[in-house]
Amino acid sequence: MHPAVYKVGLQYLSGDIWGGNARCIAMFQAFKEAIKDYSTPPEKTLIRDLTARISSYVSFLIECRPLSNSMGNAIKFLKNRIAKLPLVLSESEAKATLMSDVDRFINEKIIIAEKVIVKHAVTKIRDGDVLLTYGASSVVEMILLHAHELGKQFRVVVVDSRPKLEGQLLLRRLVRKGLSCTYTHVNAVSCIMQEVTRVFLGASSVLSNGTVYSRVGTACVAMVAHAFRVPVLVCCEAYKFHERVQLDSICFNELGNPEAISKVHGREDINYLDGFVNQEKLQLLNLVYDATPSDYISMIITDYGMIPPTSVPVIVREYRREHLWS
């Protein structure tokens, strides 16, 4: 096991690195290190051995925390690159090519993609808007900050939920930059939605039937927004698109620590579930993601432009053609 991969795995495990893009970048940086230090053992070929090596790393990372769809795509990309390496290349040349491929992926598919999304999304913010966001999405944060820099007059409503309360981090950064914000929890979303004019959401993955797979609670926010006739804009980089189809959140999900929802941080007096956790008839369900059906999504903003959720299969197809089969 390469130490860089090991470190990233532990960081996933402890929750130090979270968020789709951050996890993906961390993973790729670790793989880059691993490739740099890699030397083909005697009597083996680089292409086969490195692929096996990467697979073992990936299975280690999965043990630490299940992969997200976006990471799956990224790994697929890397493996494809390895497989497509021309046989004539020397080991050092092959490694250099792979490392530059990894860098290019991070740069093009994540960093530039985010910038492009911001550029598109900012056009949807008008003066006097009240923008609602849920959780803490890095792209949405960039959009809000950029719009603020452009001098647009708008307010932000940050909706958050237990147990992670990531929204507070986002809120902190926004307020520090001088945006006027309202903070509330998801319980109050139907109350606050009346004054909202746009909903901006991040996504962990967009599936080919247009379903948005995202932080648990997103579906609820999108549905409330839909009921209030507020447009829901999902911001998602194209590398997170996935050809899978999923109809509900239970069939494929990640389970969080059940302890996290049975306890309230900072409120020792709420201990009704103490000693109750192991009861046979009790299930504490702490889902990490949920699936938002495409009906509730007005538009998906991606690096290929702004598309309706019905057009996701096109992006998936084109993306695959461009990166996986080329």
Site residues (vs another protein, CB under 8 A):
180, 182, 194-195
| CA–CA distance, 225 with 161 (Å, rounded to integer) | 17
Whether omega for the bond prior to residue 163 falls within 30 degrees of 0, making it cis, is yes
Q: Which of residues 195 and 322 has its CB atom nearest to another protein in the complex? A: 195
Q: How far is residue 56 from each of residues 2, 15, 42, 84, 140, measured CA to CA in Å?
A: 10, 21, 19, 20, 34
| CA–CA distance, 37 with 44 (Å, rounded to integer) | 16
Q: Which of residues 192 and 216 has its CB atom nearest to another protein in the complex? A: 192
Q: Which of residues 40 and 182 has its CB atom nearest to another protein in the complex? A: 182
| CA–CA distance, 102 with 78 (Å, rounded to integer) | 7
CB 295 within 8 A of CB 308: no
Q: Which of residues 45 and 180 has its CB atom nearest to another protein in the complex? A: 180
| CA–CA distance, 60 with 237 (Å, rounded to integer) | 26
How many Å separate Cα 86 from the centre of its chain? 33
* Minimum CB distance to another protein, residue 195 (Å): 5
Three-state secondary-structure class, residue 156: strand
Q: Which of residues 182 and 311 has its CB atom nearest to another protein in the complex? A: 182
Q: Which of residues 133 and 249 has its CB atom nearest to another protein in the complex? A: 133
Q: How far is residue 142 from each of residues 160, 234, 318, measured CA to CA in Å?
A: 18, 14, 26
Q: Which of residues 195 and 248 has its CB atom nearest to another protein in the complex? A: 195
Closest CA to 70 of 16, 114, 109: 109
* Minimum CB distance to another protein, residue 133 (Å): 17
